[in-house]
């Protein structure tokens, strides 16, 4: 089997892959609400003659593409299905028909690409040995993440893949290119909810109260030293508070409480656990030292995403063979997060990026924005490269 065989099938199925993507884009559904999305994907898989199981982790779907000697080697491909609570601003024939819901992170692209890859692989099932497990996953955008739920329900068992690949749109890369990063690639993400309690009073007599605004200021500054002076400088670490509000106050009124929300991100799970303890201790200690108190709640999010180096190097080599070296980019680490990380904690994993931009055509808006869209020529690569990568890994 040659890359030309896969490329020809990707071209042949391209128009239908575009139709699938446009249908999914036009009918987006929020995390863990992807009922109609799952029904559509199931219908398409059935039309291709691909056996599959539905209802895993809620709306998740697993399809098995079995070649000859199906137990010889098993690899997995994953796509997510959910959309975001964003009102679409694009004016296209496939604009979202669901108010306030939009595929602004490209999960429609991921699912359509995996449908295309599954169809390609199914067409070639008499020409390879092993099994490709295609995972259509709900709820990537919302904790606890659909990946964690599907894993608990056995998606990485019966049969158990030796490795897994995931693909994500990347609007800063031009369509026709893909990007890879072995090792540490994306950060863990934890949500911080902090309540600093003091004792309100008159702004002219601060000594009669406990000013939670001053306490909060000291806590924020002290916690930033966790990043600059306690964290190992070679371990990427970010601490950001994006929301601060008090329960009242005015120019001459000291409020009783201040509420903060933030995010903590890193790429080292041991440091992540240590930082959680230190953050709470620092914040609570400062508040107590000045007569106040602090409630510091950490909502554990996704772990760090680690691309297994050998698997990622093989995937990168497959991409170079499929696209040419000039179309394969080496990417820097990112402090954004992805629940694909859960798979990378269990089995060798590779999460790579699909270029989707066409600045001249107006498709270069970032993800999670109301104007995000793609150059749909990327779908031919999105489907074909996933299939080719799986086939190359089966032959490894």
| CA distance readout (Å), 336 to 5, 237, 344, 367 | 36, 11, 16, 12
CB atoms within 10 A of CB 225: 12
Structure tokens at 270: 């041991």
Nearest-angstrom CA–CA distance, 167 and 394: 18
Active site residue 140: yes
**Closest C-alpha among 288, 309, 317 to residue 388:** 317
Active site residue 339: no
How many residues in the chain?
396
- Per annotation, catalytic residue among 82, 190, 308, 339: 82
Looking at the chain, list the stretches that DSSP marks H as alpha helix, in order from N- to C-terminal side. Answer: 3-26, 35-48, 107-123, 146-152, 212-225, 269-289, 309-323, 341-344, 378-394
**All residues at 6 or more sequence positions from 188 whose CB lies less than 8 Å from its CB, including other chains:** 265, 266, 267, 269, 272, 301, 302, 303, 304, 337, 341
Nearest-angstrom CA–CA distance, 66 and 155: 16
| Mode of pairing for the β-strands spanning 328-330 and 178-180 | parallel
- Per annotation, catalytic residue among 108, 140, 190, 257: 140
Which residues are catalytically annotated? 82, 140
């Amino acid at each position: 089997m040659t890359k030309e065989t896969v490329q020809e099938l990707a071209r042949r199925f391209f128009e239908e892959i575009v139709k699938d993507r446009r249908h999914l884009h036009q009918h987006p559904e929020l995390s863990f609400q992807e009922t109609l999305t799952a029904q559509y994907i199931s219908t398409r898989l059935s039309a291709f003659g691909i056996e599959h199981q539905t209802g895993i982790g809620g709306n998740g779907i697993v399809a098995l593409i079995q070649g000859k000697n199906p137990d010889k080697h098993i690899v997995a491909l994953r796509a997510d299905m959910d959309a975001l609570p964003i009102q679409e601003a694009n004016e296209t024939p496939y604009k979202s028909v669901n108010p306030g819901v939009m595929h602004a992170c490209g999960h429609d692209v991921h699912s359509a690409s995996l449908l295309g890859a599954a169809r390609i692989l199914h067409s070639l099932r008499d020409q390879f040995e092993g099994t490709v497990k295609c995972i259509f996953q709900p709820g990537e955008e919302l904790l606890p993440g659909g990946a964690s739920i599907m894993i608990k329900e056995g998606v990485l068992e019966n049969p158990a893949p030796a490795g897994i690949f995931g693909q994500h749109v990347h609007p800063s890369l031009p369509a026709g290119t893909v990007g890879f990063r072995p090792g540490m690639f994306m950060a863990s993400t934890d949500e911080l909810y902090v309540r600093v309690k003091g004792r309100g009073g008159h702004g002219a007599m601060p000594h009669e109260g406990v000013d939670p605004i001053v306490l909060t200021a000291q806590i924020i500054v002290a916690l930033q030293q966790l990043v600059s002076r306690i964290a190992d400088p070679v371990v990427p670490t970010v601490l950001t508070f994006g929301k601060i509000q008090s329960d009242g106050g005015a120019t001459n009124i000291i409020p009783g409480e201040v509420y903060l929300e933030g995010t903590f991100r890193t790429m080292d799970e041991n440091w992540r656990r240590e930082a959680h303890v230190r953050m709470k201790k620092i914040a609570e200690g400062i508040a107590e030292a000045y007569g106040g108190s602090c409630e510091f709640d950490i909502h554990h999010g996704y772990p760090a995403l680690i691309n297994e180096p050998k698997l990622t190097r093989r995937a990168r080599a497959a991409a170079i063979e499929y696209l040419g070296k000039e179309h394969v980019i080496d990417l820097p680490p990112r402090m954004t997060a992805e629940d694909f990380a859960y798979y990378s904690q269990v089995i060798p994993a590779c999460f790579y990026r699909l270029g989707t931009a066409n600045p001249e055509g107006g498709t270069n808006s970032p993800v999670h924005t109301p104007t995000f869209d793609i150059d749909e020529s990327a779908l031919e690569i999105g489907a074909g490269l996933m299939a080719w990568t799986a086939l190359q890994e089966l032959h490894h």
